[in-house]
Structure 1
């Protein structure tokens, strides 16, 4: 017992020492801990994914429906009345085919934004390729329409001299445009891939290659068409202002509408695309809020750019009186419109528009 009584103080002191050692070790660990602020943290983009789940399918469905209806009506009207009589007619028909092709691919884009991609690599490549072929062909065709309008109005004498060869030239140039659009779309055919069950374009590509592809898209699909359209339509407006035709103001309004739609659809998306390209060229951003905001901006402006496929029929085809009358006659012949309604929409305007069919001929149509 005496030995045990002697050991009690020793045991008590030993326990206190262990407690001090553990406490000291804890504080030493805290004071000399590693600074994790130097390491990049993962940027959470869950809010953007949730936004895409409802925003992208909704707008893709609306654009797909309007694009299918508008462009099918344009194509049917051209073939039903055999309206391929001018260069603009040929370009408008090809433009409708390009926009219709893109509208048919929108359900795949909607599916890719909602669920996991299960359609395989071939369909993934096809979706991106169809988009770029439609995009480049539309931009080049819009440029050709503006050039045709420039020669028809600003160079009316020389244009009338070569009128018999114009339709043939427009068919050849349209074929060349489709070939060029497919050549420009080779990167989409090559680099589109399925990554993490999502169909994307830049999977496995270097930042330098991504920057090159995006710069080529900005230059070929926006900058060059913008310069061509800006030059041609500015000369056209100047020429119309010198003329003394009673339909001059209406023609100028149509041209402004064409340019405004192009700028509204393409400028915001190309600005965001330029910012994304600059970000990739600089090695990427470390600001998570900036990345998320850029994703939101890309989704919204891309949907606005997609609107071109359903707006082109209205600003290029339905704006003409003759084309609208042909469309109404087509609907009447197919039983989609009554005889009374047809005369209500056509006879009231026929007296004012019959003497001069300038809205859809080579004089004033955009």
Structure 2
């Protein structure tokens, strides 16, 4: 009876409490969940996830074998150039010094291409230090190669279009080329410091930028476009146009061959470098505008960047053929080296060197004797 009386005593208090606190139960309890379930939520302000699986698959099956082949051909071609220069002591002109430095830059870049093959995989499995080395080597070799190509074109310009002035300074030319080559490497290292500082591993990927809209991306890509493409293109266009103009005024037997060589040099440079820099410029513009929310458009930019970058990376394997192997004297020395190493028979050596007669004028000129 005591329990029943207690219940009767507290029942009015319980009813009063339930009436007062029922709104709280409705707002914080299960009834509140039912109200939200019946309502609609606006998801338009939340950015959608952009699926890049197809781009990752493209990188996985295409880029590693491409980088491997490019690395092998770059190693072979540039090692042949370096061994030929060292064996025959071929540092007698400015172009020789620049070509040797260009071969070292391309060789260093070719050695780093296996790291790019690893970076194109699904995940970056190496250390942060390796990531920084990969990006730094790429930028240093890119800038040094482009600057050296500028100096090569200027040397050819003074040697042909300004032959009298060049002859007067011939005794100081080699020293100047060595000093300027050292300055090129130092300058390339300085402008590549952002890669050393900001390269990092984010989401198992080796990159320099924290996101596509990173403000740092705009400054780095703009400097690369100006220093590694626009400046060399302007210098080469001026120098080689003046060289062609000078050659067209002569009645030399080698004139047509020299013009063809110059056209090959310019065409290879434009074909390899222009597509990547155009895509890089457009990507920079998109980043400057705040990026894009179109997933298909973003994927197409990634495809274009990867494809054109592969073409640009071909420079390390094409430069030996364009700037060294086309030279009459260098090609002759290379055949002599292969003959001494037993890779070429006497009959083939005589056949490839025009029965051993060779042009005395060609053998007495510099490495790019076809100019």
Task: Name the counterpart of 1:243.
Answer: 250
- Unaligned ranges ≥5, structure 2: 1-33
TM normalised by structure 1 equals: 0.88
Task: Name the counterpart of 1:96.
Answer: 103
**1:142 is matched with which residue: 144, 149, 156?**
149
User: Matches of residues 190-209 of structure 1 in structure 2 within 5 Å?
Assistant: 190-203=197-210, 207-209=214-216
Task: Name the counterpart of 1:253.
Answer: 260
Distance 1:219 1:252, change over 3 A: same
1: distance between equivalents of 2:121 and 2:345? 42
1: distance between equivalents of 2:168 and 2:362? 20
1: distance between equivalents of 2:370 and 2:364? 5
Matched, 1:220 2:220: no
**2:163 is matched with which residue: 156, 162, 180?**
156
2: distance between equivalents of 1:58 and 1:190? 29
User: Matches of residues 58-137 of structure 1 in structure 2 within 5 Å?
Assistant: 58-137=65-144
2: distance between equivalents of 1:360 and 1:180? 31
Distance 1:359 1:119, change over 3 A: farther
Shift of 1:362: 7.5
Shift of 1:116: 2.5
Runs of 4+ in 1 over 4 A off after TM superposition: 362-366
2: distance between equivalents of 1:277 and 1:358? 48
2: distance between equivalents of 1:362 and 1:308? 19
Determine if contact 2:96/2:367 at 8 Å carries over to the other structure: no
How many residues get paired?
339
Determine if contact 2:279/2:305 at 8 Å carries over to the other structure: yes
3-state secondary structure, aligned to 2:361: coil
Q: Deviations over 1:89-114 (max 9, x none)?
A: 00000000000000000001101112
Matched, 1:170 2:200: no
Shift of 1:50: 0.4
Matched, 1:356 2:353: no
Task: Name the counterpart of 2:279.
Answer: 272
3-state secondary structure, aligned to 2:120: helix
Distance 1:98 1:360, change over 3 A: farther
**2:43 is matched with which residue: 36, 53, 62?**
36
Task: Name the counterpart of 2:330.
Answer: 323
Shift of 1:77: 0.2
Shift of 1:205: 9.4
3-state secondary structure, aligned to 2:237: helix
2: distance between equivalents of 1:169 and 1:365? 23
Determine if contact 1:358/1:365 at 8 Å carries over to the other structure: no
Using the TM superposition, name which of 109-118 and 253-262 deviates more. Answer: 109-118
3-state secondary structure, aligned to 1:160: helix
TM normalised by structure 2 equals: 0.87
Shift of 1:346: 1.5
Distance 1:363 1:210, change over 3 A: closer
Determine if contact 1:265/1:308 at 8 Å carries over to the other structure: yes
Q: Deviations over 1:15-55 (max 9, x none)?
A: xxxxxxxxxxx9x977x523434432111000000000011
Shift of 1:342: 1.6
Matched, 1:294 2:294: no
**1:347 is matched with which residue: 345, 354, 362?**
354
- Unaligned ranges ≥5, structure 1: 1-25
Distance 1:197 1:360, change over 3 A: farther
RMSD of the TM alignment (CA)?
A: 2.1
